[in-house]
Amino acid sequence: MRDENAIVVEAWNTVLFDKFVRFRHVLTHGLSGHSDEMWRRLPIAEGSRVLDVGCGFGDTTLRIAAATGPQGKVVGVDCAANFIDMATKEARAAQLEQVSFLVADAQDLSALPGESFDAVTLRSVLIYVPDKLKAHREFFRVLKRGGRLSYFEPINSMSRYGQETPDFFGFPAGPVQHLADKVLKVFAAIQGPGDPMLNFQERDLIDLAEDAGFEDVRLTVDFTMSRTIPLPQRLSWDHWLKQSGNPKIPAVGEAIDQALSPAEQAEFEAHMRPQVESGRGLFRLGRAFMVATKGA
């Protein structure tokens, strides 16, 4: 009989995979700049051996392979077999023989030998990892002496959702706060404070790297706050309803449909729509870039 937890994990990964497939273009475009910044901080030399953790479709893995050249070796790992299947097909189509893929969890890289990589990279992966210290210890183990870890992570806990002024994802709810609270309960039931996406702040990343044994830990945090939603992030009401903060939670419109009656939805829209479309809200964005070295 299959392990019950394994069945749950497989089903969950299928849900994530389906959402990522639908929004692949948006995700790839949105994260490409973060990859460039990671590599600027961690130059990838030709002939390097690189491990790409949480590789997803393998977009970043294939870009790394172009930097290492045919003399290098790039391994992409992801806990979802669906991602690995797709990434493997794309690597074969690109005829990149230096690339291979493996189903593995960031918290357990035991299928890979210790001290076998020059660099470990990941991008928006720790937000899905429950035991972040265990993952960092695995990164440390598989790195060669002098090898470096480089990653980007969004810092979701920098956004203060429980502010003195109640709101709904940054937009003042005012007279419909009671309706906003109903919708927020839908999200809270799925993703509470202990969720991996919310259970760490930027300073915790330094502690995790240090506790795992890394030396020369360098963390850069970019935090933006604006009282007006920037134009590139400003959306129409219909588009905003289709937004989901991350693949683990429903879109805003789906949560509203679940929590509110038709009459309540009309009341909620009458107040919220003008604010959403004019950008009259609080915009917060936290991003962290880490580079840490394993001592020689």
Q: What is the average per-residue pLDDT within 147-161? A: 79
Quick check: 282 pLDDT over 60? yes
Provide the 3-class DSSP secondary structure of residue 74. strand
Quick check: 198 pLDDT over 90? no
Question: What pLDDT score was predicted for residue 4?
Answer: 45
Domains within the chain, CATH numbers bracketed? 4-153 (3.40.50.150), 158-191+226-283 (no CATH)
How far apart, in whole angstroms, are the C-alpha atoms of residue 167 and residue 172? 4
Asked if residues 134 and 271 have their Cβ atoms less than 8 Å apart, the reply is no
Question: What pLDDT score was predicted for residue 222?
Answer: 86
How far apart, in whole angstroms, are the C-alpha atoms of residue 163 and residue 159? 9
> Which pLDDT band holds residue 34 (cuts at 50, 70, 90)?
low
User: Which residue from 174, 143, 179 is spatially nearest to 262, judged by alpha carbons?
Assistant: 179
How far apart, in whole angstroms, are the C-alpha atoms of residue 82 and residue 172? 40
Q: How many residues make up the chain in this entry?
A: 296
Asked if residues 8 and 31 have their Cβ atoms less than 8 Å apart, the reply is no
Quick check: 233 pLDDT over 80? no
pLDDT in tens, 98-119: 999 999 999 999 999 999 999 9
Measure CA of the first residue to CA of the last residue in the chain; give whole Å: 46
Question: What pLDDT score was predicted for residue 111?
Answer: 96
Question: What pLDDT score was predicted for residue 163?
Answer: 40
For residue 33 the two structure tokens come to 């700049």
Q: What is the mean pLDDT of the chain?
A: 84
Question: What pLDDT score was predicted for residue 208?
Answer: 97
Quick check: 2 pLDDT over 70? no
Provide the 3-class DSSP secondary structure of residue 117. strand
How far apart, in whole angstroms, are the C-alpha atoms of residue 109 and residue 142? 8
For residue 142 the two structure tokens come to 């598989």
